Structure 1
């Protein structure tokens, strides 16, 4: 943040007539997006700004409760998702549908153009903050005289690797001609970096397409959506901080040719609400009986489901490690998901004395905060990374999709985390790789560097002053 901006912010804070912003927020229909949007909205509401949080009825009802002090400032706007062929009944988020059916959720999301347009016409907020999926929102916002910002829940390293809006929308004929080209360092990245996805992550992402529409299903590809969203925005907001990834944030300024503002890492806040919740009470009672720092927490977010092969190998590796564990396992994505994954026969019986497998919702941050938890095995989703590192817990990474692979390779490059070895082309791996990585990071002397690095990262990932400065700069920009 420049001295001029800090000075102006200080003047604003001393001026009681500072403008109260009216901000609408329209996140993508995935809880890995809904929650960070809500967290950012809560921070802005705490500064006295009005937030209209727009989503579908079922998603709004499933969001965490907000503090009573913020209820006058946050208004939840429920809009119905249109019915779309092949989209299951009551499916309103990515956790409700199998991975390959998420494209129908995006088609349904495109049907929200009229209700969103009607909302902007009748309420005229100062800004609407959107997500990657609503590529059509820019034209609607301009029509109603509303400024638009794109909020990326992905860090700058993910966006920077993917390139400019033009490359996202139409591809890069200069470099990216074959699948293997997509794992090379892009030509627009001028600094040294080993960040890249793996080939198996690329092939797994069936929606990675630069075509505007798929001939068969009128499906707009994710990359086109993202590029058009950035192109149509007045500002790009990134869940990041200069202390975390300065080179990649600077690159975004060059690629986008518009303001790019890091909004902070949005560290989780410990609450005492629902301390008597059954899920938490049972988890706490189990954790209380374990030695300090002995338990590995395993979780792949609210929507990432391993394949049956991945689940089997992970379970066998975990069993081989002989470590106590608390595993929150998503074995099915919605009732229409007919590929329910199952743990190896006898796994739970053989590990019952030292482990828990939870297939329902679990209070992740509260569990991670317990002193018995000594490390995490996660998919590299940014929310889980932030929660782990703000608590000083070392990370073992098992990325499955492209964005997770980019984040994971950046953390490995910075020697912040360890990644389980997998074959480049097909993603195969052995249980021994899982056991070795867990033992290294959790127990062995050779892995002490990961435990020390996690403690070192606490100051960056949990610093409320850094978060407040990022928020002040954001609000200053939105007002001025």
Structure 2
């Protein structure tokens, strides 16, 4: 197939959790011979949600020299909205002039692909007569639910926040407790809800939607999107499932450079270790850390646990100091569990850990990147959502995909040690856990099949490129 000429520009927003899958999407374009530029709002610190820290972008650029990274300076404006999501969306919208300048500076632009939270940039593309596509870096289910929510609420005067755990029935999705919808959507009169709805309304203006998922994992949600059931009365553009696009394991120039936790895993039996990690922003309180420790110890199972300092609201988006593990965890815990557990401060190479043969379960915050990484590695998920759409993903993981179980109490003040112990034992010891591992073995196979030449996700990307060529 003859490829379209010109550069594809990707507009990323919302920080590293959205930037990483943008980089993986860029690699698909590179394989098709298309030049790629990623436009990313950047600053030299990480104190603002929605803006990537310059060192993070520099690291990604160094690891991906074939991709051009263009820094969009975040606009300076007074009195940013105190609601984080609203302030972030304002900031991304105010990047439009810089994005327009970038597009005009390029000899030829084949397409603009925008993060779903940057959908306002469709106007820039329209002005310059460039096809614009939306890239959803979360689940198809989360995208479908946010798209359908305004239609759902048009039939009631209530807000989601008034509905408690009342089940919501959306096309192609399992019943969703209203309390598991993102907090930014729970007040229909709030600025956050209105800003999100405004973004969803822009979907109809896009030339297509790229989803970071694969059809086997979310068939009902994908079908509902394609059938237009999620956006009644409005146009739904073509939907392309191109995932699972997850970061590849880090290139290792020398084996001695491997993270120490990987060497520790090498010494553990296959599928014997419970891995606990809550994503790039996930943290839990000091009392909760002690409950987790007691639960892990009581379970008797091996574990690899990434521990960060408890949250400090004044430093939520700053780099946290290294935790004092001995002070945070119960007295004697590290000594008593040293023969079967490893606690790692702050960070571990998650993709490598999940793909290691010793890893048998994954306690996760249910961020979509982490979910896909766990599924692609064939590791059962123990769901512990924290914020954003993570509780929503939890519903899909457990009820629809059937690749995980829930840590009860995540939406209360505390997940108790007894619950940690019980769920670890369930996944690692019980017949239900065995069935879960069988399901994940199939999911791992299907994820790999989706990405090979001729696989469903590769064919979907082929179709997208063909449609893109036809639009020029």
| TM-score w.r.t. length of structure 2 | 0.82
Distance 1:164 1:292 in 2: 43
Residue 126 of structure 1 deviates from its aligned partner by 2.1
Q: Which stretches in structure 2 are left out of the alignment for 5+ residues?
A: 43-53
State how many pairs are aligned: 437
* 1:42–1:297 distance in 2 versus 1, CA, 3 Å: same
- Residue 77 of structure 1: which of 70, 74, 79 is its match? 70
* 1:376–1:49 distance in 2 versus 1, CA, 3 Å: same
Q: Secondary structure at the match of 1:129?
A: strand
Say if 2:273 is the partner of 1:273.
Answer: no
Does the Cα contact within 8 Å between 1:263 and 1:474 map onto a contact in 2? no
Distance 1:269 1:144 in 2: 35
Say if 2:137 is the partner of 1:153.
Answer: yes
Structural mapping, 1:166-205, within 5 Å: 166-167=150-151, 171-174=153-156, 176-181=158-163, 183-186=165-168, 188-189=170-171, 194-197=174-177, 199=179, 201=180, 205=183
Distance 2:261 2:78 in 1: 40
* 1:377–1:325 distance in 2 versus 1, CA, 3 Å: same
Q: Secondary structure at the match of 1:393?
A: coil
* 1:333–1:430 distance in 2 versus 1, CA, 3 Å: closer
* 1:240–1:40 distance in 2 versus 1, CA, 3 Å: same
- Residue 475 of structure 1: which of 455, 461, 465 is its match? 465
Structural mapping, 1:57-76, within 5 Å: 57=42, 58=54, 59-63=56-60, 65-66=62-63, 71=66, 74-76=67-69
Does the Cα contact within 8 Å between 2:122 and 2:206 map onto a contact in 1? yes
- Residue 31 of structure 1: which of 7, 16, 32 is its match? 16
Does the Cα contact within 8 Å between 1:165 and 1:227 map onto a contact in 2? no
Does the Cα contact within 8 Å between 2:169 and 2:176 map onto a contact in 1? no
Q: CA RMSD in A?
A: 3.2
Q: Which stretches in structure 1 are left out of the alignment for 5+ residues?
A: 1-11, 88-98, 214-218
- Residue 444 of structure 2: which of 451, 454, 458 is its match? 458
* 1:44–1:184 distance in 2 versus 1, CA, 3 Å: farther
Distance 2:154 2:328 in 1: 42
Distance 2:426 2:438 in 1: 13
Distance 1:114 1:41 in 2: 23
Does the Cα contact within 8 Å between 1:210 and 1:224 map onto a contact in 2? no
Residue 264 of structure 1 deviates from its aligned partner by 2.3
Q: Secondary structure at the match of 2:109?
A: coil
Cα deviation, 1:144-193, whole Å, max 9, x if unaligned, reads 1122111001111112223338549xx5343744525375454552x6x5
- Residue 380 of structure 1: which of 327, 343, 366 is its match? 366
Q: Which moved more, 1:470-479 or 1:78-87?
A: 78-87
Structural mapping, 1:48-447, within 5 Å: 48-57=33-42, 58=54, 59-63=56-60, 65-66=62-63, 71=66, 74-83=67-76, 101=84, 104-123=87-106, 125-164=109-148, 166-167=150-151, 171-174=153-156, 176-181=158-163, 183-186=165-168, 188-189=170-171, 194-197=174-177, 199=179, 201=180, 205=183, 209-211=187-189, 213=191, 223-253=196-226, 254=228, 255-256=230-231, 257=235, 258-270=237-249, 272-276=251-255, 278=257, 280-308=258-286, 310-331=288-309, 336-337=314-315, 343-346=328-331, 347-401=333-387, 403-414=389-400, 415-422=402-409, 426=412, 428-447=414-433
Distance 2:290 2:85 in 1: 25
Does the Cα contact within 8 Å between 1:208 and 1:221 map onto a contact in 2? no
Distance 1:303 1:222 in 2: 23
Q: Which moved more, 1:430-439 or 1:442-451?
A: 442-451
Distance 2:253 2:314 in 1: 31
| TM-score w.r.t. length of structure 1 | 0.80
Does the Cα contact within 8 Å between 2:186 and 2:193 map onto a contact in 1? no
Q: Secondary structure at the match of 2:118?
A: coil
Does the Cα contact within 8 Å between 2:159 and 2:186 map onto a contact in 1? no
Does the Cα contact within 8 Å between 1:44 and 1:471 map onto a contact in 2? no
* 1:274–1:212 distance in 2 versus 1, CA, 3 Å: farther
Residue 436 of structure 1 deviates from its aligned partner by 0.8
Cα deviation, 1:116-137, whole Å, max 9, x if unaligned, reads 1211233252211111322421
* 1:387–1:112 distance in 2 versus 1, CA, 3 Å: same
